[in-house]
Each structure stands twice: as C-alpha cells, then as structure tokens.
Amino acid sequence: MPSDLLQDIKLCGRIPRHVAIIMDGNGRWARQRGLARTRGHAAGMKAVREAVEGAVEVGLEILTLYAFSQENWNRPQREIAALMSLLQRYVAKEQEELKRRGVEVAVYGDLDRLAPGPRRAVRQIEEATRGGRVLRLNLMISYSGRAELVRAARLLAERVRRGELAPEDIDEAALAAHLYTAGLPDPDLLIRTSGEQRISNFMLWQLAYTELYLTPVLWPDFRREHLFASIHEYQKRERRFGRVTAS
C-alpha cells in the first residue's frame, strides 16, 4: 500500500514543496490505553521519525512540525518536563541519522523560555545538521503564530525608529521578511491529526492559501502511508489562490 501510493504520487509529479503538520492526539492515544499522557508523547516520537523518513522518500523540500506551542507552557509542570526531556532524547537519538540522511534542522519559537538543557539540545541539532540538502525540517517549539506576528511588527517598528525603513514601505513582503520563516515558501499542505478542525495559532500568516488535510488518526499512530495519502489527496485539488478559472 505505501509503495503503491508513493509510486502514484511520483507519477503525478505535482509534489508539494512544503508540508506542515499539527501533531495532535498524544494525550487521547494514552488515555484510550489507560496510560499517562507522557506515554503518549513518547509514543509520538516514532511518528516523527515516520514523517521525516516519508518526507525524504516522497521528495519534499520542507517539513514543518508543530512540536510545542507557547500555550503548552500552561500545562502541568510534570508534563512540560517530560516534553523537554523528550526533546533532548530526540536530539541524542536522531541527530546522527538526520545528518546522514541530509536533513537540516531549524528550530523556531521563543527559545529563551527553554531551560538550559533543552536550549543546548536545540543548538546542538541545528549545528550538527547544518548544510543538509535533502530536506529542511523545521521544529516549532515554544511557538505562537500571533506572537510571531507581534515579533515581526516590533522588528519593523525598530527599523522605522532607526530610520532604515519608511512606514509606507511596509508591505506584505516586508512583514514576511521578518517572520521566522523568512526566505522559505509557505506551506502548500497542512496536515492535522486527531480529527480536530482548527489551526491552533499555528503559522497564521503562512497558511493563508494552504490546503488543509484533516485526519482522525491520532499522532502516535501516524505513519508514512498517512503522509502519502495526504499528498495524494493534495494532488487532486486545484489551487486557485483566490482566482477563478475561466469557464
């Protein structure tokens, strides 16, 4: 099944450059099994590997994963500590394999809120994988779409204050150039797992014309065939970006 889907996708040829995923359902997965929520987060690590390997197989340029939102800081301290520990374990376990596969990792968000250990892990994986040309893997950690826009507005305001930029020169391109994702194409496809139907403060600017794919699969159960299925569905859609095709 996965190999057939992959073949169909490559025959179509219209492969998205950039896919983003809201990884949702770890807690529900654990609850269904009578386990602690932290066990669900740990199980989700396998899905991250599946998504990355599937992205490499299918030929994506960029994969962006929503790993930890700023709102997640409001969760119980024990759960936050477990998530930060998982981040460090992910770096220790996957760093060399990502480098071998040519995956370059970039981490975006308010990283000043991270404790020293997780912050070192972030720097470590970015430095170790820098220059990878097969896939760009963006990990959004301590991230908020609204906070990203506020940050961009402040950076623009500071440039105006210094006399480097006139207010009338601020346009969409200027704002986009001050986002975390400056220089990267917007996501072509957003996948959200667990069946929820919202974007949860994720990449609010970048998702303006992104195709959405919602799946009931809980994140720990997500495998590369689910990624392939979402891309196969994307290939059937007509992207108009607000335009109307001639009749």
- Are 142 and 67 in contact by the 8 Å Cβ rule? The answer is no
Whose CA is closest to 65, among 131, 6, 141? 141
- Are 85 and 39 in contact by the 8 Å Cβ rule? The answer is no
The pLDDT, as a whole number, for residue 4 is 87
78 alpha carbon, distance to own chain's centre: 24
Q: Look at residue 69 and tell me if it is in a domain.
A: yes
Residue 232: phi and psi, rounded to 5, are: -60, -40
Of 8, 26, 72, 169, which residue is the catalytic one?
A: 72
The number of distinct structural domains making up the chain is 1
The pLDDT, as a whole number, for residue 13 is 84
Give the separation between CA 195 and CA 218, rounded to whole angstroms. Answer: 8
Give the separation between CA 23 and CA 121, rounded to whole angstroms. Answer: 21
Give the separation between CA 210 and CA 235, rounded to whole angstroms. Answer: 13
Residue 240: phi and psi, rounded to 5, are: -110, -15
Of 4, 24, 26, 112, which residue is the catalytic one?
A: 24
- 26 labelled catalytic: no
Q: Look at residue 221 and tell me if it is in a domain.
A: yes
Q: Strands 62-69 and 103-108: what pairing?
A: unpaired
Q: Look at residue 164 and tell me if it is in a domain.
A: no
- 201 labelled catalytic: no
Q: Look at residue 204 and tell me if it is in a domain.
A: yes
The pLDDT, as a whole number, for residue 242 is 64
Q: Look at residue 6 and tell me if it is in a domain.
A: no
CATH number for position 112: 3.40.1180.10
- Are 233 and 189 in contact by the 8 Å Cβ rule? The answer is no
Q: Look at residue 183 and tell me if it is in a domain.
A: no
Burial 61-81 (b: 16+ CB within 10 A, else e): bbbbbbbbbbeeeeeeeeeee
Q: What is the pLDDT of residues 187-196, one digit of tens each?
A: 999 999 999 9
Q: Look at residue 41 and tell me if it is in a domain.
A: yes
| Cα pseudo-dihedral 182, 60, 19, 171, rounded to 10 | 30
Q: Look at residue 24 and tell me if it is in a domain.
A: yes
Rounded to two decimals, the pTM is: 0.94
The pLDDT, as a whole number, for residue 103 is 98
Give 190's strand partners: 20, 212
Give the separation between CA 246 and CA 218, rounded to whole angstroms. Answer: 40
59 alpha carbon, distance to own chain's centre: 16
Give the separation between CA 69 and CA 63, rounded to whole angstroms. Answer: 17
Domain span at 216: 17-143+188-234
Which two tokens mark 244? 């109307």
Profile the chain (247 residues) by mean pLDDT over runs of 10 residues: 83 94 97 96 97 98 98 96 96 96 98 97 98 98 98 98 97 98 98 97 98 98 97 90 60
Q: Strands 189-192 and 211-214: what pairing?
A: parallel
